[in-house]
Structure 1
């Protein structure tokens, strides 16, 4: 587990975050350029090492987050902390209304769409939802296993 000071040093390597002191010697770090209403990325970082990172509804963290989209980072090491901070900033940087659509095809000519919408990578066949994934890597792995290649 990283100390409060170590977590601060890692967080402050992200120049897009702005530190704001709050009560009880705790800190919040804001991402002012957020495309969402939410701007706080790191919430209530406490001198005892406890704190939270906002990841919204990213499926990648669904087993770690609470109902407010916060993940407790108390026991995070440097690598995990950097990863979740990058994911949180990326999440808040993306327009939640703008889907990403990729066309995929199999050797037999079947076509399928991989669509990033509402924080999920969804696989559609003829407008029917076939599968949903928390990361693009998982979705791509599935499509390749099924014999599809990106067009």
Structure 2
């Protein structure tokens, strides 16, 4: 595990981040050029080595990010820390190059809808027409299930 000082040195190697001291000797690092209201990349870096990096809804981090889009970096290696910070900065500057994800959902009557992840949204299409758009996959899946659709296997 990297020490607080090692993590701090890695984070501060990103010139686009601005350090701000907060309570309990913790540090936040902001990306002032963020295209969004959210500008904190590294949140609550603590002298015990704990801290979080904001990744929003990047699919790459879905299994380990909490519901606020934060990933705990306590046990990250140097390479992992550099990668996640780079991904966070790119995310906040909309330089995301993720491939769309497409799922086909079918009703009992045979009607097919496509659930497509594109540009940070989960969109529901019927015959290439946008029907609904959601900020999370969970919300989109709930909607589809409530409407009687199931994921085609």
Band of TM-score, shorter chain: 0.5 to 0.7
Match of 2:90 in 1: 90
Match of 1:47 in 2: 47
Match of 2:15 in 1: 15
Q: Given the superposition, is the C-alpha separation of residues 45 and 38 from structure 1 closer, same or farther in structure 2, using an over 3 Å criterion?
A: same
Number of paired residues? 113
- Give ranges in structure 2 of 5+ residues lacking alignment: 101-115, 131-153
- State the Cα deviation string for residues 40-96 of structure 1 (Å, max 9, x = none): 000000000000000001010000100000000000000000000000000000189
Give the structure-1-normalised TM-score. 0.66
C-alpha separation between the residues in 1 aligned to 2:74 and 2:80? 11
Instruction: Give the superposition deviation at 1:117.
Output: 1.3
* Superposition RMSD in Å: 3.1
- Aligned equivalent of 1:118, options 117, 120, 124: 120
- Give ranges in structure 1 of 5+ residues lacking alignment: 103-113, 130-151
Match of 1:80 in 2: 80
Contact 1:40 1:54 in 2 (8 A): yes
Instruction: Give the superposition deviation at 1:17.
Output: 0.2
Give the structure-2-normalised TM-score. 0.65
